[in-house]
Structure 1
């Protein structure tokens, strides 16, 4: 069973592990191999823990956990999403900053549920629109288009010493994202 809940500081190491595994599988051939190989679990976990402890106004992070088999130990973090007030307010009021999901857990509706959680949070904080940046070569960018995201801008981000093209996807109004992520059975 998959559960979506707000992230806690104690989740930082598991979140960092998902971050690293997702980047290595998704960005192979897009980002430099040496950069991906050098991703540091302790450093990334410390950054997430700091962020979870110092939550800036309007920010939130949600995790997707897979319940263990009975007697099989604690639930495993298999994905996460975060968002806050947009850094570039000319594009949108809210920004989905991350959405990472382990490859083995894709195509199960978990990404949609994480997107819904962060969109609902942004809407509850007064954001009437939402956007996100996705690397233009990210093979999962179709997911955002499938949810009704419209390409509204392009830019470059420096990652691992390399400039990589990125695309801004917009949902305006934010209700378009909430509707696109609603389950057909109303759950």
Structure 2
């Protein structure tokens, strides 16, 4: 596997990973109506915009297929003043999960935050998403709960925090 920084030409591949991974990860958690309306085209436009402004990293298979991505930066909500960084997204296609890619995709986000003098980070994860165990295995702890609504369904996002992201790299 190869990890590299995304360029504008990667927006379509990132969109495919996001849509496909949402449809496997969030099936029976997020309403089907929401998942069914997600398209590669709509997400491609979103990711083209994000890539131009934020750090996005890709995981490519040996065959050059984009199989995962991560995105992070400065914490966005302001609700957790002790935490300056945020992992905005990390998604990996189902057949590539549980092979160490998550940690590989987290590393460049952490490296960029550390270069900015940021040593704390949050990530928001749906409570029903089993991937939250990944963050717990890396030392994150729940520091808050947010309620969100998707198509009239109320869901809880657990806010995980790391007090020192340098410990994750070990």
Task: List alignment gaps of at least 5 residues for structure 2.
Answer: none
Determine the structure 2 residue equivalent to 1:78.
Answer: 67
Structure label with greater radius of gyration: 1
Q: Distance in 1 between matches of 2:115 and 2:122?
A: 16
Instruction: Choose from 86, 96, 111 the match for 1:120.
Output: 111
Equivalences, count? 168
TM-score (norm 2): 0.94
Extract unaligned runs of 5+ from structure 1.
69-74, 180-187
Match of 1:39 in 2: 38
Aligned to 2:143: 152
Where in structure 2 are the equivalents of 1:7-18 lying within 5 Å?
Answer: 7-18=6-17
Deviant stretches of 4+, over 3 Å = none
What is the rounded CA distance, in whole Å, between the counterparts of 1:61 and 1:105 in structure 2?
Answer: 18
With normalisation by structure 1, the TM-score equals 0.86
Pairing partner for 1:174 from 151, 157, 165: 165
| 2:121 maps to which of 121, 125, 130 | 130
Against the structure 1 CA distance between its residues 10 and 130, is the aligned structure 2 distance closer, same or farther, given a 3 Å change threshold? same
Root-mean-square deviation (Å): 1.2
> Which digits, 9 at most, give the CA deviation of each residue in 1:7-33, with x for residues without a partner?
111010110000001100010110001
CA deviation vs aligned residue, 1:74-116 (integer Å, no higher than 9, x gap): x110000000100134251000000000010011111110011
Deviation, 1:171, is: 0.9
- For residues 152 and 39 of structure 1, do their structure 2 counterparts lie closer, same or farther at Cα, with a shift above 3 Å needed? same
